[in-house]
Structure 1
Amino acid sequence: MRRSRLKHAGLAVLLMLGSWTAAGSLPASASDEAPASAGLLQAMQEDFGLTRAQAEERLAAEERATDLEPVARRAAGGAFGGSWFDAATGRLTVAVTTDAPPATTEAVEATGARVRAVEHSARALDAAKTRIDGFSAPSGVAGWHVDPAANSVVVEVVEDERADNDVQRFLDRARTAGPVTVRTVTDTPSTFAAGTVGGDPYYTGNVRCSIGFSVHGGFVTAGHCGGAGAGVSGWDGSYIGTFQGSSFPDNDYAWVSVGSGWWTVPVVLGWGTVSDQLVRGSAEAPIGASICRSGSTTHWHCGTVLAKNETVNYAQGAVHQMTKTSVCAEGGDSGGSFISGDQAQGVTSGGWGNCTSGGETWFQPVNEILNRYGLTLHTA
C-alpha cells in the first residue's frame, strides 16, 4: 500500500517537473508559486491553536522573516547580536549591541525588522559557546546553545542532577567562558533509533530509522543510524543502497546511495495527517518559526524552532551545531525530515520525551550535510 502511494507521488512529481522543464524554467522557491496545503494548515491549527486565517498569516510572516534575516544581519554588521521570529508580533526581531552607532540601529530598522538592544554580540556569544564546547560535560548536562533573546549561552541541566558535584563544577567552569544562563530539563537526550519492527522506511541490520530528504543519487539521514559502508534495506526488505558517508558523534549526519530499482523524489510523507509535502528548497527558518517533522514511528508532528547551534551531550558523546525544536519524536524517527513550509530544514537526531507527554527534539541542519558531502537537494 505504502509502496504504491510513494510510486504515485513520484510519478506526479516527475510529470510536474516535465511540464516545468517544457516551459523553460523552474520555480525558485515556494513563495509565490505554492500556497500551503490544506493538510499543513489543519496541522498548524491543531498544534498551535490557530484559525485557518491565522495559520495562513503566520506562514506568510515566517516566510517574510526568513527572507529578511540575512538582509538585517548585514545591516547590523559587527553589532549583530542574533535574531528570532516573534510569533506574537509576526515580525523578525534583531538584537543589536548597545555600543552600536545610531546609524546602525536605523539601518536595521529600515529593513523592517524590530530592534532589541543587547550587551553581547553574536560573535562574542558564539566564542563563549566554542570555549564551552572544549569542556568535558557530565551526563547531568543535557546541552548548551546561544540564545539570542536571552543574550546568553544557555546551559541545560537535568533537573534531578542539578545539585550533582560534577554538574556544578561544569557550570562554574562554563561561567568563566562568558555569559551563561542555566535552565533545567526533565530528562537526558537520547537518539531515536529503534529495533526492527517491520513496515517502515529503512533498516541497517536490526536498527530502524527514517529517510530524511532526497538528494541526487540518494538520501540524507542521521549518522547514528549506520556507519559508512553499511547496507540499507527498505520497508519491504529489498536492498536500497549503502551508507556512503556517516559521522556520529561530533556530528549526526549521513548519506545513503540509492540503487536497485529505488529512486528519489522531492517529497516528505504527511502520513495521512497532511498531504505529502513537496520540497522546494532549504532556506533556513529563524528561531521562533513553526516547523514540522515526519518520521516512521510517530509520523507527522509540528512545533517551533527553539534554538540553533546547540551542543547536545548524548551518552555516546557531544554533537555540535544542532537545532532544537519543541516537536516530539520517538524511537525509529531518527533521520527523518524536519521541514518548514516547503523548505527542508534538517534530519532528526534525538531528544527527550515522547509524543504522548511531549518533549523536545534536535535536528542536524540539512545545508550542513549537503555542504559536507557535496550533495544537491532534490527539489520540485
Structure 2
Amino acid sequence: MRRGRLHRALVAALVLLGAGTAAGTAPAWASASSPAGAPAASAPRAEDASLSPGLLRAMRRDLGLTAPRARARLAAERTAAAQEPKAREAAGAAYGGSWFDARAQRLTVAVTPDASASAVRAVRATGALVRTVAHSARQLDAAKSRLDRLSAPRGVSGWHVDPAAGTVVVDVVRDRRSDNDVERFLSRARAAGPVTVHQVAAAARTYAAGTVGGDPYYTGNVRCSIGFSVYGGFVTAGHCGQPGAGVSGWDHSYVGTFQGSSFPDNDYAWVSVGSGWWTVPVVLGWGTVPDQLVRGSAEAPVGASVCRSGSTTHWHCGTVLARNETVNYSQGAVHQLTRASVCAEPGDSGGSFISGDQAQGVTSGGWGNCSSGGETWFQPVNEILGRYGLTLHTA
C-alpha cells in the first residue's frame, strides 16, 4: 500500500511501535508461557477498542465469523485469558493444560485423575470447564524437554505439547514420513513419553526477504517487519539481524541498531531507535482495519483468535493452535514458540501478533502462503521483554 509522504512520515512512528504484526512463517513455531522475570502482563480492558468494522471483516474473511459472533468470541476470549492463571493456580500439581473451546466459548482446564475434589471445585469456580486427562502439564513438558535434547532430521518439522490430546505431537513432513532418519527419531521420541505423530505438508522456513520494496525495515539486503514498540526501540525476529547491525526504515533512512538478537534456539531481537524516529503503541492495520492500539500483553489461550500485521501480506487472522512448540528449521531448532493458523510470506518476519488489544508475539516462520493457506509461528512477546529487561509501550 502506498501512502503520501506526510502520512508515511506519521506511520513511520507507528510502525516502530509494533506496526508489522506477523511477518512470515519462519523457522520456529511453538510458544511458551512467560518465563520467570518477565514483566507482568497487563490485564485486558473491559471495553474492546479494536472492534472496528475492518477487524470484523477480517475475522469474517479468515475465521468465517459474522460480526455478532466475532464480538461474542472476542468477549469470551478476554474472559478466558483472565481466568487461565487463576485456574492454573487452583489446579495445582494436577494441572494438565488449558485451551479456549470455541464451541463452548469458554476456557477448558485439564486435570489429572488424582485431582482433589476441592481443586476441581476451585477450578470450576473460576468459570472454566474441567476435563480429566491422563498426564499432567508437568509430565508432558518433561517429555517435550527430552525431545528437545534430540537432534532432529529435516523431515521432522517440530513438536509441541497438546493438552487436549494429552500427548506431545511431533509434526513430520508428509513425503518424508518413511525416511529412515525420521523413523529413528520417532522411535527415540516415543521412548521419551506419550507421543502422537502428525503429518504436515511442508517444513517450516523463515520469512525474511530480500530488498523488494514496501514497509518497514531493512538490514542490509534483508527486509523484515517491526513487531512491537518498547521504550527505546522495538522488538522483532532474531533471524532478521545480528547485534550491531544497522537498521533503516521504509524510506531507507537510518533508524537504529540491533542491540540484542538470538537465533536459532530462540528467535527474538530488539532494536534501539534514534535519529528522529520514535515509538508509539500501535500496530499497522494496512487499510484493512484501523491502526490498532496496544494496551497490554495478556497471553491468549490456545483456541483464541489472533491477528497479525506484516509488511508483505498485511493483515490476517486465525487462532492459536499450540504453545511452547519446538520448530526444526534448517538453521537449527527454535524453542518455546506459539503456532497459529495464520498465513504469512517472506518479508513478514518479525511482525506483530495481537489478540484484541493485547500484544502476543513476533513472527518467526512457518509454511504455506496467503494464497493457498498455511500456518505461522511466533515468539511470545513477554519472553522477549523479560530476556532484555524491556517495557512494552502501551496506550
Smaller-chain TM-score bracket: over 0.9
Across the aligned residues of Structure 1 and Structure 2, the Cα RMSD in angstroms comes to: 1.6
Q: Residues 10 and 265 of structure 1 are in contact (CA less than 8 Å); yes or no, is this contact kept in structure 2? A: no
Q: Which residue of 2 aligns with 1:309?
A: 324
Residue 215 of structure 1, aligned match among 218, 230, 252? 230
Residue 257 of structure 2, aligned match among 236, 242, 261? 242
2: CA distance, partners of 1:351 / 1:68: 30
Q: Which residue of 2 aligns with 1:178?
A: 193
Q: Per the alignment, in what secondary structure is the counterpart of residue 143 of structure 2? A: helix
Relative to 1, partners in 2 of residues 1:28 and 1:175: Cα closer, same or farther, differing over 3 Å? Answer: closer
The letter for the 2-side match of 1:293 is R
Deviations 1:102-145, CA, capped at 9 Å, x for gaps: 22212211211100100100000000000100000000000000
Relative to 1, partners in 2 of residues 1:32 and 1:10: Cα closer, same or farther, differing over 3 Å? Answer: farther
Q: Per the alignment, in what secondary structure is the counterpart of residue 176 of structure 1? A: helix
Give how far 1:8 is off: 4.4
Relative to 1, partners in 2 of residues 1:28 and 1:272: Cα closer, same or farther, differing over 3 Å? Answer: same
2: CA distance, partners of 1:241 / 1:11: 13
Q: Which residue of 1 aligns with 2:7?
A: 5
- Normalised to the residue count of structure 1, the TM-score between the two structures is 0.94
The letter for the 2-side match of 1:4 is L
Higher relative contact order (CA 8 A, sep 6+): 2
Residue 261 of structure 1, aligned match among 268, 271, 276? 276
The letter for the 1-side match of 2:249 is G
Which sits farther off after the overlay, 190-199 or 244-253?
A: 190-199
Give how far 1:215 is off: 0.4
| Map 1:345-356 → 2, pairs under 5 A | 345-356=360-371
Runs of 4+ in 1 over 4 A off after TM superposition: 6-12
Q: Residues 86 and 92 of structure 1 are in contact (CA less than 8 Å); yes or no, is this contact kept in structure 2? A: yes
Deviations 1:145-169, CA, capped at 9 Å, x for gaps: 0001111100000000000000000
1: CA distance, partners of 2:50 / 2:393: 20
The letter for the 1-side match of 2:244 is G
1: CA distance, partners of 2:146 / 2:210: 37
The letter for the 1-side match of 2:333 is A
Deviations 1:335-368, CA, capped at 9 Å, x for gaps: 0000000000000000000000001100000000
Relative to 1, partners in 2 of residues 1:352 and 1:277: Cα closer, same or farther, differing over 3 Å? Answer: same
Deviations 1:36-66, CA, capped at 9 Å, x for gaps: 2222122112222221111100000000000
Relative to 1, partners in 2 of residues 1:29 and 1:113: Cα closer, same or farther, differing over 3 Å? Answer: closer
| Map 1:260-299 → 2, pairs under 5 A | 260-299=275-314
Q: Residues 50 and 356 of structure 2 are in contact (CA less than 8 Å); yes or no, is this contact kept in structure 1? A: no
Deviations 1:173-227, CA, capped at 9 Å, x for gaps: 0011110010000000000000001232000000000000000000000000000
The letter for the 2-side match of 1:188 is A
1: CA distance, partners of 2:261 / 2:393: 20
Q: Per the alignment, in what secondary structure is the counterpart of residue 352 of structure 1? A: strand
Residue 147 of structure 2, aligned match among 124, 132, 150? 132
| Map 1:19-58 → 2, pairs under 5 A | 29-32=44-47, 34=49, 36-58=51-73
2: CA distance, partners of 1:271 / 1:35: 14
1: CA distance, partners of 2:361 / 2:134: 31
Q: Per the alignment, in what secondary structure is the counterpart of residue 60 of structure 1? A: helix
Match status 1:90 vs 2:92: no
Q: Per the alignment, in what secondary structure is the counterpart of residue 36 of structure 1? A: coil
2: CA distance, partners of 1:352 / 1:10: 29
Q: Residues 50 and 357 of structure 2 are in contact (CA less than 8 Å); yes or no, is this contact kept in structure 1? A: no
Q: Which residue of 1 aligns with 2:24?
A: none
1: CA distance, partners of 2:270 / 2:168: 31
Give how far 1:35 is off: 5.6
- Normalised to the residue count of structure 2, the TM-score between the two structures is 0.90
Q: Which residue of 2 aligns with 1:20?
A: none
Q: Which residue of 1 aligns with 2:334?
A: 319
**Runs of 5+ consecutive residues of structure 2 not aligned to the other structure:** 15-41
Q: Residues 337 and 377 of structure 2 are in contact (CA less than 8 Å); yes or no, is this contact kept in structure 1? A: yes
Which sits farther off after the overlay, 37-46 or 288-297?
A: 37-46
Match status 1:372 vs 2:387: yes
Deviations 1:67-115, CA, capped at 9 Å, x for gaps: 0000111110000000000111100000000111222212211211100
Larger-gyration structure (1/2): 1
Which sits farther off after the overlay, 102-111 or 218-227?
A: 102-111
Q: Residues 199 and 236 of structure 1 are in contact (CA less than 8 Å); yes or no, is this contact kept in structure 2? A: no
Match status 1:163 vs 2:178: yes
The letter for the 1-side match of 2:166 is N
Give how far 1:5 is off: 2.9
